[in-house]
Chain A
């Protein structure tokens, strides 16, 4: 058999060399904006470096001392615990609400765009805006939430300044903000489920509840997993909403908020970097666990 001859347009490059040169710009860009900062972060985390003293210009190598300090830092554990609580409440919360929204949007409406637009809006809104809007909702004097409580005969609650109440206010805001993203992914998943399955199920006498449990949910699992991965990773990075809701205060603090305070405000870059590395490792671990799951589901 004669190999078809074609001209090599990029000089005399072999296919491998061509691939190398074509991928190089993307790889360089990725290295500059992703790998270098992470490497630099890990490097800085091994130094004592405070911009408020001489270590700002002459960092002192301290090995893993910053990490040891973090492990015995009560504030780190509180922030980690708060972050975990947010993950535990808002990820399932957003999945449930998102699934309901997706099922709603998947109903055979004659005009589809108002529902879809309503789905997209919270997702398109910047996180800080969502935080500020909900801060007003939960304002003790002027907020709509307390207004409803008072009309129902209850007492005004100090939502924003009572940590236990603030936690739930933050969770509600995050679920509102993130469930539309979940719904978008699930809606895409719903639309690829073949209609014939439902038809044959109803011929066999299955009710809607049964076809939801036996058809929709199993076939939607890959989409749910994808949504759960994205939601968990972003939940671990929760920053904007609790920050905006507290006027920048820190009586309820997530890990990302603590990292910011330590580095941007207190200018303790060494310790702040160590905290950020710990946060990175936690996110990485969670992602790896999920990825194993997804591969398992594929097999």
Chain B
């Protein structure tokens, strides 16, 4: 009888515990190391026994993930609570009312305090019209990767200007005389990364899509000069004639197979070069900030990923607590060590544990600090399409740089004036 009593008590306790348990679902992309995310979420579950967090993985690229999420969110599906979104998307998420803004959980003073700890670019990217849309997960920026072994062979120092890159590539290509070796790789396929390719020379020359007041300010001359620069790399034969075919990960794969001297890629490439079993360039790759453009300064393109709470979640308060944990220095450190993701906290760039795994992070902080953000606009998808498709057509020699520049500026002008 006594046994039965205790059994009943146990069943009762367990069932109330189960009933109280909150289930959260987190969406991350396939390239964002779901294995490391799982490890982080396990830590959260241990500390919060009442919460179970599931991971949903989808889409290999930012565009593919967003296509899936658009279907989920446009149908107001409550199944996903927390979403990892690209740095270009907060404005659209706010305009579409897909994100539950985080302000109501944060008094103004503590919001100020919290945002001050992050790299300024990310506090800015996540605050749209004064509302906090998301919190930063990890940073990213474009770097110049180079074949350290080849540069050493010809007594070259890592380049700091594009003129040096071009000259070094010319010499190495000529002397190596290897038909499988390409010179300078940059993203040219009609994908999101090509927007960065287009904007880099414009930023370096002091221009941008909008001015400080957020008004459209890009000129045809600026756009034309940028397109002309990338085309000239093919004209001078330091880049192969098919750059319009190259998405970022193709260049990364080819560089990993030893087929490029230089590549402009985001930070994720480092880990793949060093750790992938099929990498032919282990220990042969160096990485430096992107070189200065002719007559201009250095510039890099800001990437990075943010945690947003879905407005259709049924557990917003719990989801918000999880997001605060996921955007904490503790998690940023785990992501840096286990996934080589650049931290969103400046202090972590001097962290001994992180530098042991990623020695080049020591140089990365100024690059991330100086990296420029792509335009923030609710209709960013259309801005992106106008830029990447026209840039791609110029690189494919279907349009002259002048015509491409004119088409980009006209289309962007229309979008910014609400047409």
Residues of A within 8 A of B (CB): 51-53, 56-57, 139-141, 156, 158, 160-163, 246-251, 261, 264-267, 269
Contact = CB atoms under 8 A, between A and B. Distances in A.
A251 B395 CA distance: 12
B396 A161 contact: yes
A249 B190 contact: yes
B240 A247 contact: no
Contacts of A53: 95, 378
A248 B396 CA distance: 15
A56 B96 CA distance: 7
Which of A139, A140, A248, A261 is packed against the most chain B CB atoms within 10 Å? A248
A265 B378 contact: no
B191 interface: yes
Contacts of B381: 52, 265-267
Contacts of B96: 51-52, 56, 267
A57 B395 CA distance: 40
Contact of B189 (A140, A249, A267): A249
Contact of A140 (B191, B245, B395): B245
Interface string B385-396: 100110011011
A158 B244 contact: yes
B191 A248 contact: yes
Contact of B191 (A160, A163, A249, A264): A249
A91 to B, nearest CB: 27
A267 B383 CA distance: 13
Given A158-B242, A246-B190, 9 more contacts: A140-B242, A158-B396, A161-B242, A161-B395, A162-B397, A251-B190, A265-B70, A266-B385, A267-B92
A41 B398 CA distance: 36
B329 interface: no
Contacts of A139: 245
Contacts of B71: 264
Nearest to A57: B97
Interface string B89-100: 000100111000
Given A140-B242, A266-B381, A51 B74 contact: yes
A65 to B, nearest CB: 14
Interface in B62-104: 63, 66-67, 70-71, 74, 92, 95-97
Interface of B: 63, 66-67, 70-71, 74, 92, 95-97, 189-191, 240-242, 244-245, 247, 378-379, 381-382, 385, 388-389, 392-393, 395-398
Chain A interface, >50% SS class: loop
Contacts of B242: 140-141, 158, 161
Contacts of B189: 247, 249
A52 B97 CA distance: 9
A144 to B, nearest CB: 15
B379 A162 contact: no
21 contacts: A52-B381, A53-B378, A57-B97, A140-B241, A141-B245, A156-B241, A158-B242, A158-B244, A158-B245, A161-B242, A161-B244, A162-B396, A163-B398, A249-B191, A250-B385, A251-B392, A266-B382, A267-B70, A267-B74, A267-B92, A269-B74
Contacts, number: 86
Nearest to A166: B396
Contacts of A56: 95-97
B392 A249 contact: yes
A40 to B, nearest CB: 12
A53 B191 CA distance: 24
A269 B191 CA distance: 22
A265 B384 CA distance: 10
Contacts of B379: 52, 266
Contacts of A269: 74
B192 to A, nearest CB: 10
B245 A250 contact: no
A75 to B, nearest CB: 11
B67 A264 contact: yes
Contacts of A265: 63, 66-67, 70, 381, 385
Contacts of A248: 63, 190-191
A26 B247 CA distance: 46
Contacts of A161: 242, 244-245, 392, 395-396, 398
B150 to A, nearest CB: 20
Nearest to B188: A161
Given A247-B190, A247-B191, A162 B398 contact: yes
A161 to B, nearest CB: 4
A27 B312 CA distance: 32
B74 to A, nearest CB: 6
Which of A53, A140, A161, A261 is packed against the most chain B CB atoms within 10 Å? A161
B240 A141 contact: yes
Contact of B245 (A51, A57, A160, A267): A160
A53 B393 CA distance: 30
Contacts of A158: 241-242, 244-245, 396-397
Nearest to B180: A141
Contacts of B70: 264-265, 267
A251 B393 contact: yes
Nearest to A142: B254
A130 to B, nearest CB: 19
A199 B356 CA distance: 84
Nearest to A164: B398
Contacts of B382: 266
A246 B241 CA distance: 17
A52 B415 CA distance: 12
Which of B92, B245, B396 is packed against the most chain A CB atoms within 10 Å? B245
A56 B97 CA distance: 9
Nearest to B91: A52
A57 B240 CA distance: 48
A250 B67 contact: no
B350 to A, nearest CB: 39
A269 B241 CA distance: 38
B93 to A, nearest CB: 10
A229 B304 CA distance: 49
A161 B240 CA distance: 14
A264 B213 CA distance: 30
A68 to B, nearest CB: 15
Contacts of B74: 51, 267, 269
B385 A251 contact: no
Nearest to B70: A264
A251 B389 contact: yes
Contacts of B388: 249
Nearest to B379: A52
